[in-house]
A = this chain, B = another copy of it.
Amino acid sequence: MEEKRILLTVSYDGTAYCGWQFQENGPSIQAEIEKALEKAVGTFIRVTGASRTDAGVHALGQRCHFDTVSGIPAEKYPFVLNRYLPPDIRVTESMRVPPDFHARFDAAGKWYTYRIHNAPHPSALYRHLTAHVPVHLDEKKMDDCAKRLLGAHDFAAFAAAVGQAKTTVRTIDAVSVTRNGTEITFKIHGNGFLYNMVRIIAGTLIYVGQGKLEGDCISRAIDSGNRLDLGVTAPACGLELTRVEYAFEQEEEKP
């Protein structure tokens, strides 16, 4: 039987999980998908994700690939796997890709979204999907500051110490901070992100929005490479991996 490589798009509410990656001591998204896949095709298959999202981080469009000799048509996996997956994980798309395609190494761009509930009291309805900031935030200042990220820079200051990236240079080509009532949404697109980079940027923008840090702190941190020029890492629950893109898709419209 011919072996096929399949690429999945996966959406999940990360609240109940210890993150994307398999861990001995807690439920992971990867393990849930591998269990569902085993039920669907009858054998254990290792799944490789595009991004190892942390505990509590959500995804609208995580991607992952696996190899199989199963006769299930490549585009039918959402229907097959959703039957076995818990309701906080949904496969939304599947397609066949070439045998040398790699979900992580071939990722050409990623969109992340960070959501802040900016009101005196936490949100009851979106408590798992937003970070709560009770102090009023100036979203215009945050947006101006975020624009300093644009371009190719050495983002060494923006990585958690445990990161193991070979280079800390990344290119950010779209970024915005907008407000809709009490909800502040920070969106960012780049060719790649260091470990905890988006949450460090979000935490920095939260500080800038309340006047705890100056608007030029991001430029300063890019120059200095010093993590201490930035704010604290914002909570995981506000973060969503919105989309992972590959070269064959980048002509399409961005979200």
Chain A residues packing against B (C-beta within 8 Å): 11-13, 58, 60, 78, 82, 87-92, 119-125, 127, 129, 181, 240, 255
A243–chain B nearest beta-carbon distance, Å? 12
- In the assembled complex, which residues on chain B have CB atoms less than 8 Å from the CB atom of A87? 122, 124, 127
Q: DSSP class of A's interface residues: helix, strand, loop or mixed?
A: loop
Contact A120 B78 (CB under 8 A): yes
| Cβ 8 A contact of A124, one of B13, B121, B127 | B13
A196–chain B nearest beta-carbon distance, Å? 21
Contact A11 B82 (CB under 8 A): no
Nearest to A125 among chain B residues (CB) is B13
| Bound-state Cα–Cα, A13 to B13, Å | 16
| Bound-state Cα–Cα, A122 to B85, Å | 12
- In the assembled complex, which residues on chain B have CB atoms less than 8 Å from the CB atom of A91? 121
Given contacts A58-B125, A78-B121, 19 further A-B contacts (CB under 8 A): A11-B124, A11-B125, A13-B124, A13-B125, A13-B127, A78-B120, A82-B122, A87-B122, A87-B124, A88-B124, A88-B127, A89-B124, A90-B121, A90-B122, A90-B123, A90-B124, A92-B119, A92-B120, A125-B240
- In the assembled complex, which residues on chain B have CB atoms less than 8 Å from the CB atom of A60? 125
| Bound-state Cα–Cα, A13 to B15, Å | 16
| Bound-state Cα–Cα, A127 to B89, Å | 10
Enumerate the 8 nearest inter-chain pairs by beta-carbon distance, A residue then B residue, closest first.
Answer: A90-B124, A11-B124, A12-B124, A90-B121, A13-B125, A92-B121, A87-B127, A13-B124
| Bound-state Cα–Cα, A121 to B58, Å | 17
24 contacts between A and B (CB under 8 A): A11-B123, A11-B124, A11-B125, A12-B124, A12-B125, A13-B124, A13-B125, A13-B127, A58-B125, A78-B120, A78-B121, A82-B122, A87-B122, A87-B124, A87-B127, A88-B124, A88-B127, A89-B124, A90-B121, A90-B122, A90-B123, A92-B119, A92-B121, A125-B129
